Chains A and B, each alone.
Chain A
Amino acid sequence: SQTIHQWPATLVQPVGSPLSLECTVEGTSNPNLYWYRQAAGRGLQLLFYSVGIGQISSEVPQNLSASRPQDRQFILSSKKLLLSDSGFYLCAWKRTRRDAFFGQGTRLTVV
């Protein structure tokens, strides 16, 4: 069966510090991978998605970036965090026209 791992579960980082969140998928090959952000009191915003190794589509301009160095690994990064980057970050995988499966999320607080 397929599983998705996302870590860390919680993170407190100072403004201006770098960020690296990792997501890995097991039990499937060539999945579509996604990063979403859920800000407090707001909905789920698609940040990045990837349909293959090295292929990244950005949905929202910001100081975040994403990379897919391996087929089942998706990384969300920032060189310098802003206060507005605080939120609940969710990684997901899916196949075209199929439903998505989510990780347990990372709660990021920028202080």
Chain B
Amino acid sequence: GNSVTQMEGPVTLSEEAFLTINCTYTATGYPSLFWYVQYPGEGLQLLLKATKADDKGSNKGFEATYRKETTSFHLEKGSVQVSDSAVYFCAGGNTDKLIFGTGTRLQVFP
């Protein structure tokens, strides 16, 4: 079946450090891929998405590129801020279901 695997956290960084959170997927066909962010005590918000191979999603300084050859959708940001501290979820879906990874907690310290 379809699945999404992302790196376990927590990821702890200093402000202005470079961020990478790995995500790989297993699916039949070519799913749409998403990154969601969850701030403390809140629901999930869409951060960025890509719907086909080589697409790059970007938002708020975050980027992720849909790599078909490596079945990956790694999240990156060049310079993180304390306000980026949250849980990040990778997700994929190609029909009616949207499957999430286990989430990666990011903690950014000043």
Measuring CB to CB, which residues of chain A are less than 8 angstroms from any residue of chain B? 6, 32, 34, 36, 38, 42-44, 46, 49, 51, 90, 92, 94, 96-105
Within 8 A of A (CB), among B84-103: 89, 91, 93-103
A-B pairs with beta carbons under 8 Å apart, 17 shown: A6-B43, A43-B101, A43-B102, A46-B97, A49-B97, A51-B96, A96-B96, A97-B51, A98-B32, A99-B32, A100-B34, A100-B46, A102-B36, A102-B43, A102-B45, A103-B43, A104-B43
Measuring CB to CB, which residues of chain B are less than 8 angstroms from any residue of chain A? 32, 34, 36, 42-46, 49, 51, 89, 91, 93-103
A38 CA to B102 CA in the complex, in Å?
Answer: 9
Q: Among the listed B46, B51, B95, B103, which residue makes an inter-chain contact with A44, where contact means beta carbons less than 8 Å apart?
A: B103
Closest chain B residue to A103, Cβ basis: B43
B100/A46 in contact, CB under 8 A: yes
Inter-chain pairs besides A34-B98, A94-B93, A102-B43, 16 sampled, C-beta below 8 Å: A43-B103, A44-B44, A44-B100, A46-B97, A46-B100, A49-B96, A92-B98, A96-B95, A97-B93, A97-B94, A98-B32, A100-B46, A102-B44, A102-B45, A103-B43, A105-B42
A98 CA to B93 CA in the complex, in Å?
Answer: 8
A104 CA to B34 CA in the complex, in Å?
Answer: 19
Pick the 8 closest A-B CB pairs, nearest first. Answer: A43-B102, A44-B100, A102-B43, A102-B44, A104-B43, A105-B43, A43-B103, A99-B46
With contacts A44-B89, A90-B44, A105-B43 taken as known, whether A100 is within 8 angstroms of B98 at the C-beta atoms is yes
Smallest distance from the beta carbon of A50 to chain B beta carbons, Å? 9
